[in-house]
Amino acid sequence: MRQEVFMAGMGGQGVLLAGQLLAQAALEAGLELSWFPLYSPEVRGGRATCTLVIADGEVGSPVVGQPGSVILMDGIAVDNHLNRVRAGGLAVVNSSLAGDEIKRDDIDLVAIAATDVAVELGSEQATNMVLLGAYVQASGVVEAQAIEDALHRVLPERHHDYIPTNVAALQHGAQLAAEQLQ
Amino acid sequence: MRQEVFMAGMGGQGVLLAGQLLAQAALEAGLELSWFPLYSPEVRGGRATCTLVIADGEVGSPVVGQPGSVILMDGIAVDNHLNRVRAGGLAVVNSSLAGDEIKRDDIDLVAIAATDVAVELGSEQATNMVLLGAYVQASGVVEAQAIEDALHRVLPERHHDYIPTNVAALQHGAQLAAEQLQ
Amino acid sequence: MPERQLITGNEAAAEGAIAGGCRYFFGYPITPQNKIPEYMSAHLPEIGGVYIQAESEVAAINMLYGAAATGAWAMTSSSSPGISLMQEGLSYMIGAELPCVLVNMVRGGPGLGNIAPAQSDYWLATRGAGHGDGRCLTFAPFSVQEIYDLIGQAFPIAQRYRNPVMILADAVLASMREPCVLRERLDPPEEKPAWAVGGRRRGRQRNIVNSLWTDPPVMEEVNLRIQQRYEEAAQNETRWTEHGADAPEILVCAYGISARICQTAIEHAAEAGIACRLIRPISLFPFPTEVIADWAQRVKKVLVVELSMGQFIEDVRLAVEGACPVEFFGRTGGVLVTPEEVAERIIEIA
Amino acid sequence: MPERQLITGNEAAAEGAIAGGCRYFFGYPITPQNKIPEYMSAHLPEIGGVYIQAESEVAAINMLYGAAATGAWAMTSSSSPGISLMQEGLSYMIGAELPCVLVNMVRGGPGLGNIAPAQSDYWLATRGAGHGDGRCLTFAPFSVQEIYDLIGQAFPIAQRYRNPVMILADAVLASMREPCVLRERLDPPEEKPAWAVGGRRRGRQRNIVNSLWTDPPVMEEVNLRIQQRYEEAAQNETRWTEHGADAPEILVCAYGISARICQTAIEHAAEAGIACRLIRPISLFPFPTEVIADWAQRVKKVLVVELSMGQFIEDVRLAVEGACPVEFFGRTGGVLVTPEEVAERIIEIA
Amino acid sequence: MFRVIIDQQCCKSCGLCVEFCPQSIIELSSDMNEAGHHPAVVISEQDCTGCQMCALMCPDVCIEIYRIKVEAEASA
Amino acid sequence: MFRVIIDQQCCKSCGLCVEFCPQSIIELSSDMNEAGHHPAVVISEQDCTGCQMCALMCPDVCIEIYRIKVEAEASA
Amino acid sequence: MNTLATTKTIQPIYTRPDSLTDVQMRYCPGCTHGIAHRLVAEVLDELDLKDRTIAIATVGCSVYAYEYFDTDAVQAAHGRGPAVATGIKRCQPDTIVFTYQGDGDLAAIGLAEVLHAAARAENFTVVFINNAVFGMTQGQMAPTTLMGQKTTTTPLGRSVEQGGYPLNICELLAQIPGVAYLARETMTSPKRVRHAKRSLKKAFQVQAAGLGFSLVELISSCPTWWHMKPLEALQWIEDVMVEQYPLKVFVDKLEQGEQAEKNL
Amino acid sequence: MNTLATTKTIQPIYTRPDSLTDVQMRYCPGCTHGIAHRLVAEVLDELDLKDRTIAIATVGCSVYAYEYFDTDAVQAAHGRGPAVATGIKRCQPDTIVFTYQGDGDLAAIGLAEVLHAAARAENFTVVFINNAVFGMTQGQMAPTTLMGQKTTTTPLGRSVEQGGYPLNICELLAQIPGVAYLARETMTSPKRVRHAKRSLKKAFQVQAAGLGFSLVELISSCPTWWHMKPLEALQWIEDVMVEQYPLKVFVDKLEQGEQAEKNL
Ligand SMILES: Cc1ncc(C[n+]2csc(CCOP(=O)(O)OP(=O)(O)O)c2C)c(N)n1
Ligand SMILES: Cc1ncc(C[n+]2csc(CCOP(=O)(O)OP(=O)(O)O)c2C)c(N)n1
Ligand code: SF4
Ligand code: SF4
Ligand code: SF4
Ligand code: SF4
Ligand code: SF4
Ligand code: SF4
Ligand SMILES: [Mg+2]
Ligand SMILES: [Mg+2]
């Protein structure tokens, strides 16, 4: 088993946190993995991306040109990275910020209005969790519960208040993905 | 024509000045030449050496392992360098400071009590000139007059007072060498 | 401490050093390695160690010189411009035969450049160490676990050869998170080396740490002694790994993060029907010349992959010595290569 | 000025620079090149130039960076430890594509070492220039006249390739006196390069001198542009001389003072019946690879002579590429070789 | 009368203009600009005294201030 | 009584002891030592007061000073 | 019936200074680096120096200063701004040169360069932003960090044992005769901002008059690494920092010159 | 007849200090580097510190200091003595560490290192030899060279334009709270030599008491590059140098401590 997921979005959207949660969950599941962030030096806001490779054996390259799956958190991310997904792969996309012109027929495309969902849940910040929930559901790479557990490990104590909202967001995302994939 | 002369003595004995005068004289004679000094880091006084190669064509190596000729200003210089002279070469040695145990049969050896001569002339400092005069006489590499001319060029104006003594020393050295070589 | 932790390369470097016995850190912040001094500032004082933020990299390397002179197990870390500033100090450490460990998390250059991953300090690491004939023993890990393991080993190696040891990595390895098995923290040896200064109350002869030898033959002897140690290190410390086909058509040479990328690239190439073998030097100086020379006799071509304009390739070419063509694939300035691109290049040259 | 003067290598470097158009000098004293700043401090102000004694070599190279940014023809000079301290600044100059000229009168190392002649900064000169992929264009004169001539040419070369140019010599060449033919002093060009800063009163777009490119592909472009210039330099500036037999048995490779020594050594060898040819690279980067590769096909062996533990030899081996055995004769730490010793070594390997 | 123009894209919602306006006529908007900030807006420009405190304290040079003179002229 | 010992090989003839001896009892010798210097010598040690000025000013630590006490004892 | 016509005149009373480009600055919200930039630009405008100015950006959060000042510009290695300025000014004495340096840049790695430039009486201006922290590299201790202040490398607060005492740069420079203008200001209120501008203006005037080295230290906020809101950060400067770093004009040779003239 | 027997006792009243080796120093005739060495050695003897002292030789005429002090020793890169001392002292806090630095070493290339060591209140001692010139490299201008003084790189005398103003190191250091003892002395007469020794002794006492950074500046002669006879050189110090560099105890925390105790 070797799964690659590339995530991209605007700085502050929680791209890296989503990646770290998934990485932590994989770790707890006894898998091998490699996660690395790259920041790009855009003027406004800046952009963040990260790549996570999960495997049950040696991970090999942490750098992936054509990832098997992606989580794209806004329009710019979609513009820049959707075409990189390998045929047969999976893309989870935030349709709240990416518009509707998302087109690829050769991959599984899960479009979630994640920002809208998050705002509904009372915290725009949870957009990343909605998308992560959807991704976990669609990819099956780890158990949904494992992400919830990871929240407790990765978030600093002082942010544990946010966990319930985050869990709700994860679940919402998972549900929406499940619906779409049916 | 290629002549090499290596000079060595105690720091302050004027080894470098002697070398520079000879170099200057060779320059004026239209010859090619290369002169370089090396200081050795002895504790007391320090030691000075220089090598001068004079040629009518390309000079080639300024560094010489076995020089054709040497001027050795004291006993340490004799101990360290006399054996380096090429067979058939020339050594001009300050016998005032080098004792009498100077032995090489395969070279022309001119032993001058240069310090004594210089002291007699009223300036111990002129020891180097006595030896240089002897060397020029013995080697014939440049005209004696050329060294006297070089004194005016090489010595800073404020030291031109010393020139007469130096000239006398040069001439004395030359004369003694001529006597020995007869 | 739990067995397997998800930590960054920077954390692995810091904790690995502590676990290996390092108790003194002198450094100056620079991205992308800031988490190393930050970790040290938090953890060294807890265990009786010392963290000093130097006023500059020039000061840092000279503090390290002083620390090393006492026989302490000390380190610094920095990134490209900071390592440039340490060149004089490194030369002094080598001249005075002092051990130390330094980390270079290489970033894109030259000049201020950027903070993206690069391997363009290969020469600086393997040929650098300032003026004179000295060099740093240089190791290039390619995973978080290997950073942790190698830096721990770096301290005794530095002591054994009385020479600086450099851990050469890059911005990706620095910020990468991977599972890492942590060992118990070792204490450094209590007994100081015989040459260390520290006051002579124990009645020994006085010790002098020095790199000034005005007499050239004496200076040459020092150099020969150093060179002798390098040869010993070549015997004992040359390290590399090999991956891939046993009867390869193409030999791929890469180190550090590039080698990780090539690991996957040669699988892609294999899928395209091209058998490759990857040789990954772990020690860059001493360099695994022989194994490359050996394989070079048996392949069609060698491909060198590095994140620079062609530095590492010279060591490979010195090993191959004309036995077969050596091709190059490199990007620089912080641009990463992907396994797909490398595979393409393999197919192109095959 | 009289035609032929007996001057030292240091004086030749200083006067040659002035004659070539240099008007700005920033430096910090260090033996064996002190006569260069001393000469500059006496002569530059006389002709409207500027001599500034920097507080350190780190400051000196950065003053040079500022001066170069204005389009001024500026230089510094130093010796080994000082050049080590300039590594970061050099990398910045390369990154910002700034020209300058620097002299390294190499002394024995590593560390404080001594002040005797050495060639152990070969890597520092040709691979150095700090972090990143940049390099200094490097020229190695072997006589006082050649120091004078080359340094004059170094300024336009630096401008043309917008890159630092290093003149690499040693303690013997620095203090050696030889006849030197002096030219008239040239003025630097009045017109400043288009990229130079200086206030924009002339109505042009503003100029920015910079080496920060956070976007890796942009940084890579800068590197490719620099590399492109190095390739042009390889076309235009590769220089070497050849001496000796036309059908040699042994090819001797040496540069700078070693090459002077070898000139006489191959005569000794010829007397002993061994035909040698001496190739003396004048430009060390770009390196005269082809001519060495060519001759390597036609000789029994190559002998490399250098005053270090084996640095220059790598460039020779990269050129020879296994075509024949490459033997080494080197001393280090300030020890000179003699023509007799080299000749002996030639006889030994022939 | 004064016109206070706050560049809505440039503002980073630091709130310093809000704090230092003696007239308390600046607020942070609930809208978000492209960079994700809630930009400052002037809520009752008519009360502006043109004192420039806001502009003096704005770290992002987002604020420009103009005096608007409206003069009545008698005409035939 | 004092004994002033000036190491003749170590002395560099700087003359500072000569200048600073309040008793003016030090001079530079006309002899030359191995390093070519004319070392300082004490010319009338009996006048020495043991004030140590010479030793305080000697940059080469060539000077040692001893007090010599000669006591007479009556014996049988 | 008489009609009443109105004319409306629009008179700019505060607009973006000409010496700033229209590039948006990358500083964090509320960071007073931005105010400092604006003030320098206003001074260049008012003294009409923009077209002969060369700005020197150093390494720190203000590394992109070359994008913001609409002048010729040079980006310098960390700490070496004053050396670079020396090179520039010595070759182009008719330009106006200033470095813009943080406290890490100037007081840590670059301390020797700034002091020596002052001692050489180099005729350029230093704008010194003291925010008691290395901002760009993520909040490590600076030489100017206050005792007890927590940073990413003094997690328990700066202590004498681990970090030593804060360095007061102006107090050091005040000892050096090559200094022609020297002041410490801050930007915590409109009044302070005006004072700061006055000092900056003097510094550039001193340079234009060729009187020697000038430096204005601006106590500046770093809301991000102080972990404070922008306003709180200004308050902390007033409450805490200004005690360690008193606001003061240390040297003013322009004033002295004018005084001297008046006394004639 | 009664015979009169005499006993002769020989009592050393001045001998070579134990903390000096018997290696002859390589300084030029009359160079006061030698006096400075002797004084340091005497102080180490008197305080019985020799066996736990580490001397740091820097680069300058005193580069061979490691041959002269009979203690453990480390030779440091030019200007970096205080950084090296920091490394040593932090790893071996129970040792006594001193650097011996010239004015080129300390005030030119090493200015940042000494100031930062002081700011960190590093607990070691600096012996600072100010001879207004780079002696070892043949008489170039130092930061401490006086205005108008001719050196090999100020052939017309130091001028503001080419060399700037002299740097007064003690006056700079006096601004730094980490400094526990700070004095400027010279060695131009027996009295001055005694004062110098007293200050050196205090500096080492301060270190032994763990009070922080100590430095004694010794105005020293360089007969060779001043082109003066040894005595003339001492006279020039008294007549000229001491005006630029006033002799003074700037900081004395030992005294302050004692004072404080007395006041109880
Ligand atoms: C030689 C070198 N060392 C370290 C760095 C990393 N670095 C970049 S900025 C900086 C400090 C910035 O602090 P400061 O000067 O106070 O500016 P601020 O960001 O606080 O405005 C450091 C250490 C570097 N770029 N170069
Ligand atoms: C990096 C470096 N730069 C320059 C030198 C050359 N150098 C040796 S000593 C010295 C200055 C010595 O002057 P000072 O410190 O005043 O000591 P003094 O000889 O006057 O006692 C210099 C510049 C060096 N050794 N290393
Ligand atoms: S100009 Fe004065 S009154 Fe008007 S908005 Fe700004 S701060 Fe408020
Ligand atoms: S001060 Fe400027 S950046 Fe801050 S809120 Fe007001 S307009 Fe926006
Ligand atoms: S001890 Fe005093 S009196 Fe005696 S020789 Fe020395 S200086 Fe003169
Ligand atoms: S002071 Fe010392 S060195 Fe000088 S003359 Fe007297 S004994 Fe000799
Ligand atoms: S990190 Fe601090 S100094 Fe830097 S921009 Fe942000 S607030 Fe300003
Ligand atoms: S050169 Fe000057 S400082 Fe150096 S030993 Fe000679 S007199 Fe003393
Ligand atoms: Mg700061
Ligand atoms: Mg000095």
- Which residues 6+ apart lie within 8 Å of C222 measured at CB? C95, C97, C211, C213, D333
CA dist G21 and G26 (Å) reads 13
Q: How many structural domains compose chain E?
A: 1
F20 Cβ contact list (under 8 Å, min separation 6): F53, F54, F56, F57, H189, H190
Whether the pLDDT of residue E32 is over 50: the answer is yes
For residue E36, the enclosing domain spans 2-67
**What CATH number does the domain containing E15 carry?**
3.30.70.20
Q: How far is F72 from chain H (nearest CA, A)?
A: 4
Looking at residue D1, what is its pLDDT?
A: 42
In the beta sheet, which residues pair with residue B109?
A: B91
Rounded Cα–Cα distance for residues A31 and A59 (Å): 10
Look at residue H213 and tell me if it is in a domain.
Answer: yes
Cβ-in-10-Å burial (0-12, 13-18, 19+) of G229 comes to middle
**Banded model confidence at residue G263, pLDDT cuts 50, 70, 90:** low
8 A C-beta contact, residue B118 and residue B97: no
Which of G57, G87, G120 faces D67 most closely, judged by CB atoms?
G87
pLDDT tier at G264 (50, 70, 90 boundaries)? low
B13 pLDDT band, cuts 50/70/90, is: confident
Number of domains in chain H: 1
Q: Give the C-alpha separation, G261 to G247, whole Å.
A: 27
CA count, 13 A, side-chain hemisphere, A167: 12
The answer, for D29 touching chain H at a CB cutoff of 8 Å, is yes
**Ligand 4 neighbourhood includes E42 CB (under 6 angstroms):** no
Of A10, A4, A11, A66, the residue nearest A36 (C-alpha): A4
Check whether H257 has a pLDDT greater than 80.
Answer: no
**For position B85, which CATH number holds?**
3.40.920.10
Which G positions 1-30 lie with beta carbon below 8 A of chain A? 23-24, 26
Q: Which ligand is nearest to the CA of E48?
A: 3
Domain-located, residue F52: yes
- Please give the Cα distance from G137 to G142 (Å, whole number): 11
Assign C174 to helix, strand or coil. helix
Q: Looking at the complex, report in whole angstroms how far the Cα of residue G94 sits from the nearest Cα belonging to chain A.
A: 34
Task: Give CA–CA dist C99/C74, Å, rounded.
Answer: 9
Which of C91, C110, C333 is the closest to D111 by Cβ?
C91
> Identical fold at C3-184+212-236 and C241-349?
yes
Closest CA to D22 of D55, D67, D89: D67
Per-residue HEC secondary structure of chain B comes to CEEEEEEEEECCCCHHHHHHHHHHHHHHCCCEEEEEEEEECCCCCCEEEEEEEEECCCCCCCCCCCCCEEEECCHHHHHHHHHHCCCCCEEEEEHHHHCCCCCCCCCEEEEECHHHHHHHCCCHHHHHHHHHHHHHHHHCCCCHHHHHHHHHHHCCHHHHHHHHHHHHHHHHHHHHHHHHHC
pLDDT tops 70 at residue G3? no
CA angle D50, D56, D58 (to 5 degrees): 95
Contact D216, C334 (CB under 8 A): yes
Q: Which of E14, E21, E56, E65 has the most ligand 4 atoms within 8 A of CB, as the residue to mutate?
A: E14
Report how far residue A103's alpha carbon sits from residue C265's, in angstroms, rounded to the nearest whole number.
29
Say how far apart CA H104 and CA H111 lie, in whole Å: 9
Q: Which residues of D touch B66 (CB under 8 A)?
A: 338, 340
Residues 6+ apart with CB under 8 A from B112: B92, B93, B94, B95, B130, B131, B134, B173, B176, B177, B180
- Residue A43 is predicted with a pLDDT of 42
Is the model's pLDDT at H86 over the cut of 90? yes
Residue in chain H nearest D53 by alpha carbon = H163
Mention every residue, 6+ apart, whose C-beta is less than 8 A from residue D348. Answer: none
Q: In what order do the strands lie in the sheet with E63-75?
A: E2-6, E63-75, G3-14
Q: Do chains F and E have 3 or more beta-carbon pairs under 8 angstroms?
A: no
Q: How far apart are CA G141 and CA G132, in angstroms?
A: 7
Nearest Cα to Cα of residue H181 among H130, H129, H122, H132: H122
pLDDT in tens, B21-43: 999 999 999 999 999 998 765 54
Across A26-35, B157-166, C289-298, C317-326, least confident range: B157-166
**Each residue's pLDDT tens digit, H101-145:** 999 999 999 999 999 999 999 999 999 999 999 999 999 999 999
Residue of C31, C53, C56 lying closest to G153 (CB–CB): C53
H contacts of F45 (beta carbons < 8 Å): none
Contact G53, G65 (CB under 8 A): no
pLDDT at B45: 60
Conformational region of residue C66, where left means phi above 0, alpha means psi within -120 to 50, and beta covers everything else: alpha
- CA–CA dist D82, B178 (Å, integer): 51
pLDDT of H246 over the 70 cut: yes
Considering the domain boundaries, does residue F13 fall inside one? Answer: yes
Give dist(CA D229, CA C5) in Å, integer: 48
The alpha helices in chain E, defined as continuous H runs, are 16-20, 53-57
Fold of the CATH domain D241-349: Rossmann fold (3.40.50)
CA distance G191 to D73: 46
Q: How many CB atoms lie within 10 A of CB H11?
A: 12
∠ CA C314-C316-C318, rounded to 5°: 70
Report CB contact under 8 Å: G175, H175.
Answer: yes
Task: Please name the fold of domain C3-184+212-236.
Answer: Rossmann fold (3.40.50)
Number of Cβ within 10 Å of residue B156's Cβ equals 6
| Chain centroid to CA A72 | 7
List the residue whose alpha carbon is closest to atom 8 of ligand 3.
Answer: E21
The number of the ligand 8 atom at minimal distance from the alpha carbon of H138 is: 1
Q: Which residues pair with C283 in a beta bridge?
A: C139
Q: How would you classify the pairing of strands D208-209 and E63-75?
A: unpaired
Query: Any contact of C with D, at least 3 CB pairs below 8 A?
Result: yes
Q: Does B10 touch chain F (CB under 8 A)?
A: yes
Q: How many CA atoms lie within 13 A of B30 on its CB side?
A: 0
Q: What pLDDT is stored for residue C1 in this prediction?
A: 42
pLDDT of residue B43: 42
Beta strand residue intervals within C28-115, DSSP E = 50-53, 74-78, 100-106
Nearest by CB: F61 against H11, H38, H194 = H38
pLDDT higher than threshold 80 for residue G27: yes
Pocket of ligand 6 (CB under 6 A): F 6, 11-17, 39-40, 57-58, 60, 62-63
Residue H4 or G113, more confident: G113
The string of pLDDT tens digits covering residues C210-263 is 999 999 999 999 999 999 999 999 999 999 999 999 999 999 999 999 999 999
| φ, ψ at E27 (rounded to 5°) | -140, 160
CA distance H195 to chain C (A): 28
> Token pair of H57, please?
């030789």
Beta-carbon contacts of residue A97 (< 8 Å; ≥ 6 apart)? A73, A74, A75, A115
- In angstroms, rounded to a whole number, what is the distance separating the alpha carbons of residues H13 and H112? 42
Task: Provide the residue range defining the domain that includes A162.
Answer: 2-180
The secondary structure of G180-213 as a DSSP string is EEEEEEE-SSHHHHHHHHHHHHHHHHHHHTT--E
Domain count, chain B: 1
Q: Kindly tell me the sign of the dihedral angle through the C-alpha atoms of G220, G224, G228, G231.
A: positive
* Cis upstream peptide for D32 (omega within 30°): yes
Asked if residues D136 and D285 have their Cβ atoms less than 8 Å apart, the reply is yes
Ranges of residues in chain F whose predicted pLDDT is under 50: 76
Distance of CA C192 to the CA centre of its chain: 25
3 state SS of A5: strand
> Hey, where are the domains in chain D?
3-184+212-236, 241-349
pLDDT at D46: 95
Q: Give the pLDDT confidence of E48-63 residue by residue, as tens digits.
A: 999 999 999 999 999 9
User: Any idea what the CATH number is for the domain that residue H254 is in?
Assistant: 3.40.50.970
Question: For residues C252 and C268, what is the distance between their CA atoms, to the nearest angstrom?
Answer: 13
Predicted confidence at residue B44, as pLDDT, reads: 47
Mean pLDDT, chain D cut into blocks of 10 residues (350 residues total): 84 98 98 97 97 98 98 98 98 98 97 96 96 97 98 98 98 97 94 91 86 95 97 98 97 98 97 97 98 97 97 98 97 96 96
Closest ligand (CA of H130):
10
E74 has pLDDT over 70: no
Strand C177-181 versus strand C4-8 pairing type = antiparallel
User: For helices D87-95 and D57-69, what crossing angle results, to 10°?
Assistant: 10
Region H231-245 average pLDDT: 98
Find the domain containing G142 and state its range: 24-263
* H1 in a structural domain: no
Q: Which chains touch F (3 or more CB pairs under 8 A)?
A: B, H
Asked whether the predicted pLDDT for residue B155 surpasses 60, the reply is: yes
Q: What is the reported pTM? A: 0.97
CA nearest neighbour of G129 among G185, G176, G87, G74: G185
The arithmetic mean of pLDDT across residues G84-96, rounded, is: 97
User: Measuring from each residue's beta carbon to the nearest atom of ligand 2, which residues come in under 6 Å?
Assistant: D 28-30, 57, 81-82, 85; H 59-62, 78, 102-105, 129, 131, 133-137, 142
Cβ contacts of A10 on chain E, cutoff 8 Å: 36
Can you name the residues that pair with C281 across neighbouring β-strands?
C240
User: In which band, very low, low, confident or very high, does the pLDDT at H3 lie, cut at 50, 70 and 90?
Assistant: low
Residue of H78, H116, H145, H158 to mutate for G, most G C-beta atoms under 10 A: H116
Dist. CA G144 → ligand 4 center (Å)? 28
- Report chain C (350 residues): mean pLDDT per 10 consecutive residues: 84 98 98 97 97 98 98 98 98 98 97 96 96 97 98 98 98 97 94 92 86 95 97 98 97 98 97 97 98 97 98 98 97 96 96
Question: Looking at the predicted structure, is the pLDDT value of residue A44 above 50?
Answer: no
